[in-house]
Amino acid sequence: MATYLVTGGAGFIGSNIVRKLLTLGNKVKVMDNLATGREQNIQDLLKDIEFIEGDIRSLDAVLHVMDGVDYVLHQAALPSVPRSVNDPLTSNEVNVNGTLNVLIAARDNDVQRVVVASSSSIYGNSLQLPKVETMIQNPMSPYATSKLATERYALSFHSVYGLPTVALRYFNVFGPYQDPKSQYAAVIPKFITAIQNEDTFEIHGDGEQSRDFTYIDNVIEANLLACSSANAAGQFVNIACGSRYTLNEMVSMLEKIIGKKPHPEYVANRTGDVKHSQADISAANKYLGYSPVVTFEEGLRRTVDWYKTH
């Protein structure tokens, strides 16, 4: 039985990963300071996991948690472009300094592999589609810059100390346990709850911006493969579906699935936002053996079903 540490394990992505690890019979430690994660996301799992309410900004705390860990799935971060624009200092402390602490603790405890969550935002507003890992990165926000630093630190620990690390560049992840009420909520949970309640909701710009929306099960699969694949160490790869949909197309799909008329309100573009995003996922396939397990439309259906019952 392997022991996994999931940092940020009470958050949206982290809590979904924790559930999967438990079903596979692993021992799981979760470290989360509950700044953006929520204990209710893992409430039903507390008897089966070791939960440490702690902050990755404390090296001592991370060193303590890392004892006996085989694999680290580092999901802890301060997400959101707008949040980083408002408060770049805290985004840097958590996403950069916090990651450095995780890597140091993993190195000092001979962890077998560290998988870090990076982001498609590091590509910036390049017109090149699809985004391929070898293209020039051009982060346009403090958040994106901190994510590029996250993966660079991880890869440097692989080359300098021999710590096996993998960086996964997530593209617009969505699914159950994503908080629709947060000030910085992602569009899908926001739109679903608004359409269900027949409320108006804001779309920044004309709604023709497109994203490679990635259902959570695909991200879970990528994390597991990143731990086990022989060729993964030292790599950075896109994790997505390799397709893209505009916000307007997504709203039309939600209208069909939910069966209620949406009431979008178009407002000004946001600073730091990217117009189009789509991933080339051939490197993830090559190094991890990854291919998407759930399509966008099926993921939307599953997500709507989850919000109906929660």
> Across residues 40-57, what is the average pLDDT?
98
> Across residues 43-56, what is the average pLDDT?
98
Instruction: Measure the CA–CA gap between 151 and 160, rounded to whole angstroms.
Output: 14
Hey, what CATH topology would domain 3-174+213-242+275-293 get? Rossmann fold (3.40.50)
The torsion angle over the Cα atoms of residues 192, 198, 201 and 205, rounded to 10 degrees, is 90
Cβ neighbours of residue 222 closer than 8 Å, sequence gap 6 or more: 168, 237, 239, 284, 288, 290
The pLDDT of residue 274 is 77
Catalytic residues: 143
| 69-73, 99-103, 178-182: least confident range | 178-182
The pLDDT of residue 81 is 85
The pLDDT of residue 257 is 97
| Phi-psi group of 172: left, alpha or beta (phi > 0 → left; psi -120 to 50 → alpha; rest → beta) | left
Residue 143 pLDDT > 90: yes
Provide the percentage of residues in the chain whose pLDDT is more than 70.
99
The model's pTM is 0.96
Other C-beta atoms within 10 Å of 69: how many?
20
Residue 46 burial class via C-beta count within 10 angstroms: exposed 0-12, middle 13-18, buried 19 and up: exposed
Q: Residue 161 is which amino acid?
A: Y
* Pairing relationship of beta strands 245-246 and 210-211 according to DSSP bridges: antiparallel
The pLDDT of residue 184 is 67
Report yes or no: 74 and 96 within 8 Å, Cβ to Cβ: no
Domain range summary for the chain, segments of one domain joined by +: 3-174+213-242+275-293
Residue 130 pLDDT > 80: yes
Instruction: Measure the CA–CA gap between 265 and 286, rounded to whole angstroms.
Output: 42
What is the overall mean pLDDT for the chain? 96
| 39-48, 117-126, 229-238: least confident range | 117-126
Chain segment 230-283, per-residue pLDDT in tens: 999 999 999 999 999 999 999 999 999 999 999 999 999 887 677 899 999 999
